[in-house]
């Protein structure tokens, strides 16, 4: 049995990446997954806390971490426990320090790949594709960021147009970055609202598995890749770009060019969302590579 330890920095987006990989590894080989949520404070506080927690847990074979606050404890515990260290996303420390680094392709531009780096298409997630979709659609709203400005009126118009065009049952959720008041403003549209504060960790994966069509605001890259992993047809809700040719914009362009995403303007012309040519399954793909690289005897 493979013993997997997840280090969490408390951020849901980071933890979902680690948990998605752990769940994929468990689908390939019998595994036990344990979680340590690191406290705020100094590196030594985090290390002391994690070391104390490990005293009552099985010795890990793999330790996985995502987010800057997990990097030093991940390295320390990996060496102390003689476990393999796996970091998600491009780390703030040199990649050579970790046993494996799972880094999105858009963060690896013009960089020579090291043998311990596994390029990924976007961030990993917990979504498993489901072909048996329900008669429902899902709308995912992000918010303003360093690269995108908020234009509430254009989003409200798009949500109203999408929800009235076909006879799907539409559900909508916001995020921590969504400005206050948006959910109240969108309520006249024929959609069922789910404020993010009222949803559980499993709500979004379950909704994505059931939805045949998903619309996501362009700023929400992680949710875009989650939607593309679900097997749904995915549309891109308009957001005002504050700069062009950034990493996010380049990634979005690649997805549009490959017919994986449909822009709102394109949808207005044909009123149809088409599924992507291929369904993403990065967590399982990476789990297979990891097993082949460091645990071939388990295959």
Residue 276 lies in a domain: no
224/236 Cα distance (integer angstroms): 8
Residue 167 lies in a domain: yes
Cα 262 to Cα 171, 216, 234, 253, 258, distances in angstroms: 19, 10, 7, 11, 10
For residues 282-286, average pLDDT:
96
Residue 277 lies in a domain: no
pLDDT score for 219: 93
pLDDT band, very low/low/confident/very high, at 297 (cuts 50, 70, 90): low
Residue 224 lies in a domain: yes
DSSP classification of residue 196: G
Pairing mode, if any, of strands 62-66 and 2-8?
A: parallel
Q: How many domains does the chain have?
A: 2
Contact between 194 and 173 under an 8 Å Cβ cutoff? The reply is yes
**Alpha-carbon torsion (11, 225, 256, 171), positive or negative:** negative
Same domain flag for 50 and 172 = no
Give the domain range for residue 72.
Answer: 2-125+282-298
What are the pLDDT digits (tens) for 3-61? Answer: 999 999 999 889 999 999 999 999 988 999 999 999 999 999 999 999 999 999 999 99
pLDDT score for 109: 72
Q: How would you classify residue 111: left for phi > 0, otherwise alpha for psi between -120 and 50, otherwise beta?
A: beta
Pairing mode, if any, of strands 169-173 and 136-140?
A: parallel
Residue 89 lies in a domain: yes
Same domain flag for 34 and 105 = yes
**pLDDT at residue 67 greater than cutoff 80:** yes
- CATH number for the domain that contains residue 13: 3.40.50.2300
pLDDT band, very low/low/confident/very high, at 188 (cuts 50, 70, 90): confident
Residue 130 lies in a domain: no
pLDDT score for 158: 95
**Alpha-carbon torsion (191, 228, 231, 103), positive or negative:** negative
- Residue appearing with tokens 């149809």: 272
Within 10 angstroms of residue 292's Cβ, the number of other Cβ atoms is 12
């Amino acid at each position: 049995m493979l013993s997997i330890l997840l280090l969490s920095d408390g951020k849901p987006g980071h933890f979902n990446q680690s948990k998605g990989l752990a769940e994929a590894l468990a689908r390939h080989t019998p595994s036990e997954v344990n979680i340590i949520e690191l406290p705020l404070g100094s590196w030594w506080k985090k290390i002391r806390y994690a070391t104390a927690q490990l005293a009552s847990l099985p010795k890990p074979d793999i330790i996985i971490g995502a987010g800057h606050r997990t990097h030093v404890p991940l390295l320390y515990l990996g060496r102390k426990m003689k476990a393999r260290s796996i970091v998600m996303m491009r780390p703030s420390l040199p990649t050579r320090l970790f046993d494996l680094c799972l880094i999105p392709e858009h963060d690896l531009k013009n960089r020579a790949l090291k043998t311990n780096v596994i390029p990924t298409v976007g961030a990993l997630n917990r979504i498993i594709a489901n072909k048996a979709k329900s008669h429902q659609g899902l709308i995912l709203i992000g918010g303003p960021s360093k690269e995108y400005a908020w234009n509430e009126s254009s989003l409200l118009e798009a949500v109203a147009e999408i929800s009235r065009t076909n006879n799907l049952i539409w559900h909508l959720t916001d995020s921590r970055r969504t400005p206050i008041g948006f959910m109240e403003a969108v309520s006249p549209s024929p959609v069922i609202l789910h404020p993010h504060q009222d949803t559980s960790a499993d709500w979004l994966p379950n909704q994505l598995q059931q939805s045949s069509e998903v619309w996501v605001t362009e700023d929400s890259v992680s949710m875009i890749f989650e939607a593309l992993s679900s097997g749904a047809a995915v549309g891109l809700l308009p957001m005002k770009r504050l700069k062009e040719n950034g990493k996010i914009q380049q990634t979005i362009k690649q997805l549009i060019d490959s017919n994986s995403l449909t822009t709102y303007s394109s949808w207005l012309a044909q009123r149809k969302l088409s599924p992507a040519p291929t369904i993403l399954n990065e967590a399982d793909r990476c789990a297979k590579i990891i097993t082949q690289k460091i645990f071939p005897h388990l295959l």
